Amino acid sequence: MSDSSLRLVWVYPDLLSTYGDQGNVLVVQRRAEQRGLSVERVDVRSDQPIPTSGDIYLIGGGEDRPQRLAAERLLRDGGLSRAASNGAIIFSVCAGYQILGHEFVNDVGERQPGLGLLDVVTTRGEGARCVGDVLGDIDPRLGLPQLTGFENHQGITHLGPTARPFARTVFGNGNGTGDGTEGAYNDTVFGTYMHGPVMARNPQIADLLLKLALDVNALPPTDDRWYEALRAERIAAATQPA
């Protein structure tokens, strides 16, 4: 962690900030500040270099063409990959998740190279688009409660041998492969299809990122009544018959 403050980097808000994903950076910042941590937030546009000294990097979703542009620029820049090599924590959503893999299918139907920070490959699904609420059980090794979120994607993401599923779906599509997996992670890099924004629905994920960045096993408690009310509302809505 940085000596003076926690450095929080929001990657390419001009390209990858669909479905309210910018809320993720707001939640992580707020939950750090509630613990008395000083936070330096850095919003990096796609025409700016990615700093390599961040502690936590957040990447949102985006439409097909902005996703391709973001992948091309992140590959040319190299800063996010160097930050990962330095041990930074990276959390990505939807298009950002696909970019962190080895490759995905872009807006012109070509296989687009990703950053290879997650051992996943994304193809384009031929069936119905994956849209709707998702509930899932997060990998028990992460010690987190049930995952709630909203998915909207055509991509089908296949996990390689070094990628662990972030969650197993109770219902919803998740990665879209039919095997019940949702998202992927390794030690410091995470990907999910969950919007919502996912941190507002699942504040314990934000806390996990903070603990990893601080290298601590626990954080001081906070007032979670608002978050828990939102979680209960969305889980109840998702589980009610249509």
Centre a 10 Å sphere on the Cβ of residue 236 and count the other Cβ atoms it contains. Answer: 9
Helical residues (DSSP H) of 9-55, grouped into ranges? 22-34
* Closest-CA residue to 57 (of 228, 173, 188): 188
Q: Which two tokens stand for residue 223?
A: 């007032």
Q: 181 by DSSP, 3-state: which?
A: strand
The catalytically annotated residue of 94, 102, 153, 158 is 94
The catalytically annotated residue of 102, 153, 158, 195 is 195
d(CA 199, CA 180): 21
Centre a 10 Å sphere on the Cβ of residue 234 and count the other Cβ atoms it contains. Answer: 19
Residue 94: active-site member? yes
65 assigned binding-site residue:
no
Question: Which letter does DSSP use for residue 13 in this model?
Answer: T
* Closest-CA residue to 102 (of 89, 112, 88, 90): 112
Residue 195: active-site member? yes
Q: Are 126 and 156 in contact (CB under 8 A)?
A: no
* Binding site, annotated residues: 129
Catalytic residue ranges: 94, 195
* Binding site, annotated residues for substrate: 129
